[in-house]
Structure 1
Amino acid sequence: MKRIDRIYAYLVEQSEGKTLDDFVHMEGFTASDIANDLDILRNNVSAELNKLLRQNSIIKIKGRPVHYLVKSSIEKLLGCKLPDDQHEYENMNELLSFQSPTIRPAAKGNADASEEPNPFDDLIGSKTSLKVQVEQAKAAVLYPPHGLHTLIVGQTGVGKTLFANMMFNYAKSSAPFMDEDAQFIVFNCADYANNPQLLLSHIFGHTKGAFTGADSEKDGLVTKADGGMLFLDEIHRLPPEGQEMLFYFMDTGTYAKLGETERNRKANVLIIGATTEDPDSSLLKTFVRRIPILIRIPSFEERPAKDKIEILKFLLAIEANRVQKPIKIDAESMKALIGNTSYGNVGQLKSNIQLVCANGFLHCLNDDVITINFKDLPSELKNGFFYLSRKRQEIQELSELIDSYLTVYPEGENKALFEEDPYEPDFNLYNIIGDKVSFMMDQDVSDEDINRFLKLDIDIHLNKFYNKFYSNALNREKILKIVSEDILDFSEEVQEIVEKRLKRKVNDRFLFAFSLHLTSFLKRVKNQQVANYTNIENVINDRPEEYQLSLDICKMIEKRYRVHVPVKEAMYLTILLTSLLDDQKAEQVAILVAAHGSSTASSMVSVVKSLLGESNVDSIDMPLDMSPKYVLEEMKKRVKEIDMGKGVLLLVDMGSLTGFGDIITQETGIKTRTIDMVTTALVIEAIRKATIMEMDLEDIYESLKDFRGYGSYQVEQKTEETRQPQKPPAILSVCSTGEGTAEKLKQLVEQLLKNIGRSDITVIPLQINEVEDKKETYMHKYDILLTVGIADPKVHAPFIPVEALFMGDGEAQVMHLIQNQQLLQTPPRSPAMVREMTEESLNEFLTFLNPKKVVGAITEFVSSIERLAERPFNNASKINMNIHIGCALERVVTHAGLIYKNEITPEKEEKKESYKKAAKIFEDQLKLKLSDDELYYIVDMIDNLSSRQTAGVQ
């Protein structure tokens, strides 16, 4: 039997007997699975799978890793034929959308209930972006005999609780096993996550004497939900023993109260869980297997433009009903609100709408209509418009759907989608504003003072309410990985007092640093260790306000933890407070990219953002017919908008743009520096140094003014090495005064270095009060690669704050920075390395072509182009060109070639013809012919290679 036949037979055999639910859970078979089971090299398996794809025998589910399914098996389970021209699908949900209605369970009493009105009809997107999810939910609820337990996954604020409510309402009207009096019981597992005994007692109940304080027997939520639905929010906070008890109940329908030994109680409950985490990493695998239906709710960002507008209108209607006035809002404000909705999703949009409506109400107290104009929005909301304006396709879609103004009228009572909305404040902000305005007007307070006072009041009310959903939800769990909950609670109390006394907001670093410091201090006290205090009495005179606050915090520590706190500990605490507060004064350097061409600058910034995420960077395109004077005015305007207090780095290409920096600084007072010959690599490096490394404007400028791309660092390094003896590499770990804190940070960084095989790097702990005295010594002795910790020691090296280390991307940041430093010390890549890297990259991009077979022809073609261009290309450029040409050849196979729309000059035509002769190698070796359009694009690529990208330095 041929290898391809063995693989296909294996897939068919493994698919037999499996249901759609099985495939939803497992997603299919990976190349690694097949290779291991059949003892075939993985590369060979991948090649045969690509052939089966082209033969239309299997389908691919995208993701990491990619999964494969037998097409005929899936068609049989779906009850329909899949399109012949589609081989790839985003996920199993996309496949389920093809499912034939004839094989779905029918609603009670009506075989065509799916066409009947149902609670899901009230859900925005039920027929569009949530169509697959709604179908999954209906199938879960109607599945005989008692429905299927379901897990709802999605970010904070996407509407998981609302979706579960809809499932319950649908079940009451359509599921045969659920009566009209069935209950929907909601429980948030996070409320008792640190007390597993109490949490299990709430879910399953307890007997008298089951634990201390159990004075009487109590029924649990399972008993109350019998015959109905139990919704467990933040289900990932269930302890392992709780998950085990729950999946036993799912399997058998029986359970025991806490304190009972026999599981002889019965209940019929449909379990719906919700989580913001990845189920595979946050829940027991045995538990996840018991939940056959997994529904992923898309984020607000992933919703189509039409859905976003409908959600916006719905939320505005709620406010119009609440205030009983029409609300008129301009198009720019609507786009700003939509663009500003990121981490908090619909919940965040709701809070932003309440904020702008409250401010609009304040300005229009005596008017019949509340008017919301873009110019009146808070600056942080205006940024949403600028963010959205860079997403050309989305803003075009929104512009087509939005008129210049939208007016929403109050229409009686709001239609409540469910009774208890956690994102609904328990106060009427408009009544609060109205009452306070009346009172202050009676006291002859000026209009200006009334406005200023009430704006602050609005912010306090809304921020206090919504903070519990965002900052707490996002950061608490990460901090709890390193400190106890009691210490974190106390640290939050201290943070509130610090902000109140010093009248300043502090960032997340305060919680990390103070909680670590307190943990270390209490550990010292417990082990009866004495700190080696140095002479730091000068802080009493230098920072009297912070010192007095530190004394009060020390008294709080003594009262809370019943320990003696030495006076010198208050001095150290003063240094810690001072450092954290001073560190916040410095913001990031902003980046402005300006270049000639209709989309040159914006394209570069778009690429960089897709790689590094959102950051403080903007772009200005300068078509050749645009007046330099207009561009200068636009640059001044943008510089003012994006400046965060540390200046703006201007990255420009040529011409008049290179001289605008001094004029902008002179007329705006904002410090600027200009670097010309901008490239995508230069923008990446500038943003990396401004954000991740938090470097100053002058340091960034000095480090980038001779930047020649990643492929040409080595020569400079060699020159440097000839001038100076090489120093041993090191990382500075800046910590508070406790030895425990220093050791914890040191161990963490050493583990990260171990993960990337860099045992040659020394990690040096440096206490915060010793920074100024010792940093010069360390800089002289070591090559400081980067610094980590609670404060930036300012040693002209990248700085990673302590909170980033413990966040999800902390390890990635360290690895990224160290590996970039390592790059400086490697010799230039050989042609073999270029070929190897090209092959690795093409493995990711190509579906139908075998990278091993095409890479030789591509390399030969690029060598011919080098000779025709009469200049060699550096390795980075070669790799980029190789990948582009590989993708062009794949487009030939799929008949999806690019169409060239730029101007064709005689010179360009001549070059194209010469490149066409070189491209004959593809016809000879691969039987593939590049089109003229594709060749024109290759001509452009070569022409756009600046002299800085050529290989003279190689």
Structure 2
Amino acid sequence: MNEKVEKYLIDLTRNYGKYASENFSAAAISKNVGLNRSTTSSYLNQGLKEGLVVKVKGYPVSFLHVKALAEIGIIVKSTEYDSWEDLFTLEKQNALEQVIGAKGSLKEVVDQVKTAVLYPNNGLPILLSGSSGSGKTFLAEKIHEYAVSEKIIQKEAPFIAYNCAQYFNNPELLSSALFGHVKGAFTGAEKDHIGLIEKADNGVLFLDEVHRLSDEGQEKLFTFMDTGEFSPMGDNAIKKKAKVRLIFATTENVYQTFLPTFIRRLPVIVTLPNYEQRPQSERMQLIDTFFINEANILSKRVDVSYQLVDFLLNSDLEGNVGKIKNIVKYVCGSAYAKNQNSPAIRVRLKDLPHENTLRLKEQLKKTIKALPDRQYLPHTKNQVFLESTEAKQIRQLFEKMVQLYQKVEDQEIAIKDFIENMVNRVNNLMDEFMFKDNYAKEESFYSVLTYQIRETFDWMHDNYGFDQDGNRVIALAQYLYRKNNTDTIAENHEWHTTKRKLLHLISSSMDTSYWYAKKALGHISRQLDQDFKEEDLIFISFYFHGLQITPQEKEIKSIILAHGYTTASSMANVGNRMLHQNIFHAYDMPINITLDKVEEQVIRFINDYHTDAGLILLVDMGSLNQLGTRLEDKIRGPLLIIDYVSTPLVLEIGHLIQSQLSISEISQKVDIENKVQKQLILPKKEKKQAILTCCYTGMGSAIQIQEILEHCLEDYCDELAIIPYDYHKLEKNKLYEDPFQMYEVLMIVGTEDPKIQQIPYIGLDHLINGQDIEKFVTILQDYFDISDKELKEQLMFSFSINKIIESLTILDATKLLRLVQSAISDVEINLDITLSNSKLFLLYLHCCCMIERILRKESVDQQEDIDAYMMQAGMEMEQIHRAFRSVENEYTIKISDLELRLIHEIING
């Protein structure tokens, strides 16, 4: 959008009250900025497409600036409005959101109410439960306003409030009040009378203190709720119809007061918190609102002492919010009576009603916080609190993120400094959330969210080595709950242009954290059937990056057990510091410790940590070797025990673990002196069946195959383990690798056969084209009771191209696949060959993973004979490279000769 036009429109919008609507037309704007109308219209429409401008229909069409509207409190929800009234009637559009606490303590109440109002066919009945003065009547009025603003009921639709306590001892009069009566229905019924239900037709009827209804009254009412029909008192032959939205309110225990048949007809029952149960920020907002109302009524500035504010803020008053409102009205009236001729009135503790004196004395014994005095100006609009303090903190963090990223683009700060700054801000906010964990209600969505995040972290630990941590669960639950799945920064137009760039920066510079965040949100999203926002992915990526999470899948654990006060701890500390990684745990044992106690400590460790990849015990005395026979039926993975531990031995073991060797390889390589002994113990229990997955080019595809197989087999084989494993280790060590010691391996599924005798191999290409699905199912049927037809269909579906490509974590799968297909097609033309369907699939899969791998700055293993290979196949590899030029240009990458060779090898088998 043109800078000159935008600047003028911002100034114009900020002062919209001074101008007529004609000043906002394209013709008026073009005249004031000195451009012709056609050019100005073009710029305004461009701003409309970019989300910078909002259009108001009518004659003439008007244009306003979105950012300037936000500055004056108008948050637009659309790019076009039918009239100026639709744009500026913010209160009616957001009646429920304007309720203080709508984003805080009343968040779930408001969500349930919205559901009831928006439900088709006259909505759902609502019962509001809460102490006297908690705001039930006020909320009922807001529900009516919300229904009108959503165009669910007409603007003129009636809203009738009725207190059932008036006639609760007289069922006849109550029935008459609700349903009406005919002439002669009872003594004194001299003419027909229309009841409240008929008067509220097509509108809302609010029945307060509905617990005062007799059982008969409840029965009559739920009959109307069921049928929509009622009869006036005195003539059951008359059947009338009415379409009424019902809201009830009670101060009593719902389940002890009402008939079960009545409760069953109330799908939405919400409880409003007492004043003292509301967060302090919400109590302060209520107090501010009441004083602003009084300042407007009295047309005077109202100055309130901090002592009075503190009293109102922390009082546990009967009557709740209503009582606070009345006290505010009284103290303002009292101060006004003493200072009628003054332009401002000063409200102090002495203005409180006498009935509050005793409570005031009790409160004055406590320490009063020195809050600032508060000043309220007359003729100001009531403050609208659309967001909680926490939501505001989140929004401001994203706004700061946009500002800092702009400095990155302007080369004022480095990417590294930007990431460090944002990590600190995110973690500081998460720390603050963690210590505000006041959502302890078992039935709240927060408890569901917390449970699901804990389940997600367990799943990520089992599958990807993500460390479980209670603080992480609470922090993430707090963030997602307080944010409430809203577009926190949706109104910030700069965010929309920055978001994609941020995602690209994070995925390339913080790939591990980004990958974990995407996996975590994806799993939570599937379990809760709720999509999360891209801003959540960005925020959580920064949070995980600050935790310095590193992949620990298949990590071997090690414990040093030594007698003495600090012997084991000292060796573990030295080893961890010299290796720059926390590898070793230590148990310092008293001299007289029993073997039972040692065993107990090791078992506790096994239960606390995943030791499937193996556990190495470094012990200081040969007698501890007896642990092996004690633990063989309790360990989850292979156990290697080495005695006569020393610091050099610790460092040697540490280096071998860092080299990512298997525990069998470590046992073979460790240098043992004459007196030192070692023993390798395998779990002594019936072996679990397993399928190994592997890929010639790395673990990425092996993990993808694992995930697809787990999805296919989850309903058929609960006890089957599916394990991704390194192809080159399988090819080299064959049956000596750990999985064959730990499991009964039924088959290997992969992209290349490691050629292990006695273990069936099924190529991924043969699963894709259906050639070996029969073989796959037959092998499983020897161990599991499965339906071959259903499983075959599931396998055929899940191993489709789209399903595999969907497993990519960074790139747009559809776009990437289209580019790769085009490149492979060009390869066929350049090399004058026709590839089989199975080979095409392998190339699609490999190339998509390759491109993502290059973007994540991961490399393939070095190939010592690459020069010789290039001499032999260089011309064909150049043709392949030429076909992939468009892919390189699209993603700004360079495909190396090592990668081109892998593609060439797949093409040539």
Q: Normalising by the residue count of structure 2, what TM-score does the alignment of the two structures yield? A: 0.32
Q: Which structure is larger by alpha-carbon Rg, 1 or 2? A: 2
Q: Normalising by the residue count of structure 1, what TM-score does the alignment of the two structures yield? A: 0.30
